[in-house]
Amino acid sequence: MMSRFVESARRRGYSVRPFALVPARQPCLLNISCRKLEAIFDGRRRVAYRVAGMFLREHYERVGKAFGDREYKPEYDRINEEIRECLRKADFVIYQSRWSKSRLDALHVRREGTWDIIPNAVDLERFSPAPEARRTSGGRPVIGTSGVLRGRPRLEVLFDVASRLPVRPRILILGGMDGHCRRAYEKARSDPAWRGLIEWAGPVPPRDLPRYYRMMDCLVHTVAGDACPNVAVEALACGVPVVCPEDGGTAELVGPAGVAVPDPEGVYGEALREGMAEGVKRVLADLGEYRRLARRQAENNNDMAVLTSRYLAALGLPPSAPGSDRRSRLLRPVGTILRAATPRAARAEGERPKIALTLWDWKIGGIASWMFRLAEALPEFEFHFVALSIPDHHELCDKVGRFACAPGFFALRRLLRSERIPLVQLNSVPWSVHAALAAGVPRIIERTDGMLSCCSMAKDRLDLVIASTAGTVPFMRRFWPDVPYEIVYNSVATDRVDAATVIREEDPGTIVVGRCSRFGRGKRLDLLIEAVGRLVRKGLPVRLVLAGEDSRLPGARPVERELRELAAGFGNAVRFLGPVDDPMPITKGFDIGVCSSGYMNEGIPNSLIEPMACGKPVVSTRVGEVEELVEDGVNGFLVPPGDAEALAVALERLVLDPALRARMGAAARRTVETKFSFRAAVERYRAIYAGLLGEAGGRWT
């Protein structure tokens, strides 16, 4: 896992070095444990401590008594004490599973906000399922196991479980073996019943692992008490379901993509073995569905691209090193040279000051919706809506301004020059700043929201940054301390909210949980469907309404088809509206607004501001800067990301208590009126634009 993180961090422009070579001012990621504690915790660096678990005396005594190959050693007490010291002294702790945190809390309990649970991860493009479902040779399923194979139970239990299946499977073993496992392997090979059915590939080079996992129908991980095994993550990513003991972090890692089996005796006894055999039978009986669930589980929880950002956040770093975008680095000198050589065009007499707003696309969405409302409220400026990727756009572009598509550095430069744009407002597309420089634009600013977008663009050439969340400012100031910034929250005009006509098909007795936003994997709408499904199974009168469609932004992966398949199991309890031009009438018909997004996927989403402006309580995962909007227990509830049960519990509280909904809804409206005032935001933008254009006026009039 650590080598994968290092590789991913380097691709993002970070220099990663061994601790002995890291200057004291640089953050340090301490992995598992280290004896040089004084040198590490010197008070001059931020230290994030990644820990799997501790040595449990009762586990060693229990297994040692049953198998005679384990004993608790005195040195384990010293190691546990080192772990305790790291837990106490670290600025931030990364646990690998909820299970491991529950065990480590016996050593030291961290306060909220100084820890996170981050499972292991893989590159989902490299670890991927076979293009087509593979048919097993001779009708025999292939049962696999992988990892460092140690201890008697490791293979002994595997062979016993496999022998209980109706048809003897083929067994594929990956990894090195200790003496205990070697003896179990040789014993099985000598059994005529297993002749020709067992393959031991030995230690497999990392580049070949996906190919071997794709040969398996099911991974049987027999290790109890494992915090977060890489082998399970790798198998899931390749579409291989997993059967494992319930004791340990593997069970929460696997979730619905396999079977976790209890071991009441705690010694790999008969109950566990028979349960694992039944689990394998269940997986093989519905293999296609389990394969699909396995891949989806990995995509939702073990994507290296997402988890790298969380590791970097634990270190106090942005998702990418400032200025690390390769295309932007190449274009930077081009923009500088062309700016110096480009004469500035004069503005025509009587012409309104022009402002270009850039986004990847101008279909309706959170940022686009806010910019349209802002342009409507500032008629003294001429707004140009510039798409940097997708040419089709919302009709409001033409009603309140002018639309153009400029997909590339030179196209954007030509547009800005030809339209004589004196001020351009960018949004998280690194190369666009250099195109604006090359066009000779006098004033270049950026509007940014969540941490993911905040640090995607270098800011040293900008005149101002408008941050729509306060939480992103510390990251920005760390790398660009001299760039001016303003915090201006996105907002909703409450008079527009009050004037909107409600669109609602559900009867008054049904509680509508809703969200209007683009669909994307990071939005975790599958989690939301699962949470609402739990309430439906309880017989509660709930309906989930989802307005939106798949995101078409560069790199986005479609999810709507999967979401519809998942929702099909709940009949008419989930309704898809498709894209809507104006989300406000739909939102006014909700009883509860919701955000189920995963880590690093939000700033302060409009899809929460809008229902709160309508006087609706909200439930949101605690991600991004949502806490600047939602006060837990006052105007809504905050739940841990990725936790369908917690999401369902919070929704159920609001579904069952109309007085609570009314009280929280009123508080939500007050929050928007005071902290997210549309009038105040418009006046702030008016002053910002006028001030910048006034300073630039001598060169453009």
- Residues 201 and 212: their CA atoms lie apart, in Å, by 9
Mean pLDDT of 136-147: 81
CA angle at residue 247 from 244 to 248, to 5 degrees?
85
pLDDT digits (tens, 9 = 90+) for 501-512: 999 998 889 999
Contacts of 257 (CB under 8 A, 6+ apart): 236, 241, 242, 290, 293, 294, 296, 297, 298
Q: Are 617 and 636 in contact (CB under 8 A)?
A: yes
Q: Are 513 and 545 in contact (CB under 8 A)?
A: yes
Name which residue leads in pLDDT, 366 or 534.
534
Looking at residue 42, its pLDDT comes to 77
- Residues 10 and 303: their CA atoms lie apart, in Å, by 17
**Would the pLDDT of 348 be above 60?**
no
Q: Are 256 and 293 in contact (CB under 8 A)?
A: yes
Mean pLDDT of 385-406: 92
pLDDT digits (tens, 9 = 90+) for 156-179: 999 999 999 999 999 999 999 999
CA 231 to chain centre: 21
Q: Is 366 exposed, middle or buried (0-12, 13-18, 19+ CB in 10 A)?
A: buried
How many other C-beta atoms can be found within 10 angstroms of the C-beta atom of residue 50? 22
Looking at residue 56, its pLDDT comes to 82
Maximum Cα–Cα distance across the chain: 95
pLDDT digits (tens, 9 = 90+) for 452-483: 677 777 888 899 999 999 988 887 887 888 89
Quickly state the pLDDT bin for 112 (edges 50, 70, 90). Answer: confident
Looking at residue 454, its pLDDT comes to 76
CA atoms within 13 A on the CB side of 157: 28
**Would the pLDDT of 367 be above 60?**
yes
Quickly state the pLDDT bin for 217 (edges 50, 70, 90). Answer: very high
**Would the pLDDT of 272 be above 70?**
yes
pTM, full prediction: 0.77
- Residues 653 and 462: their CA atoms lie apart, in Å, by 47
- Phi first, then psi: what are they for 337, rounded to 5°? -65, -45
Q: How far is CA 669 from CA 516, 583, 639, in A?
A: 18, 17, 21
pLDDT digits (tens, 9 = 90+) for 3-43: 888 888 888 788 888 766 666 678 888 886 556 677 778 77
Tokens standing for residue 612: 């709160």
> Where do runs of H (alpha helix) occur along 164-260?
179-190, 209-213, 230-237, 250-254
pLDDT digits (tens, 9 = 90+) for 401-423: 999 999 999 999 999 999 999 99
Tokens standing for residue 126: 């490299």
**Would the pLDDT of 244 be above 80?**
yes
Tokens standing for residue 27: 């953050």
**Would the pLDDT of 621 be above 50?**
yes
Q: How far is CA 451 from CA 309, 319, 343, in A?
A: 10, 8, 36
- What is the percent of the chain with per-residue pLDDT over 70, rounded to a whole number? 91
Quickly state the pLDDT bin for 343 (edges 50, 70, 90). Answer: low
pLDDT mean across residues, the chain:
88
**Would the pLDDT of 701 be above 50?**
no
Looking at residue 241, its pLDDT comes to 97
**Would the pLDDT of 76 be above 90?**
no
Looking at residue 24, its pLDDT comes to 66
What 3 state SS string does 326-377 have? HHHHHHHHHHHHHHHHCCCCCCCCCCCCEEEEEECCECCCHHHHHHHHHHHH
Mean pLDDT of 356-365: 87
Residue 695, SS3 per DSSP:
helix
**Would the pLDDT of 700 be above 50?**
no
Q: Are 691 and 423 in contact (CB under 8 A)?
A: no
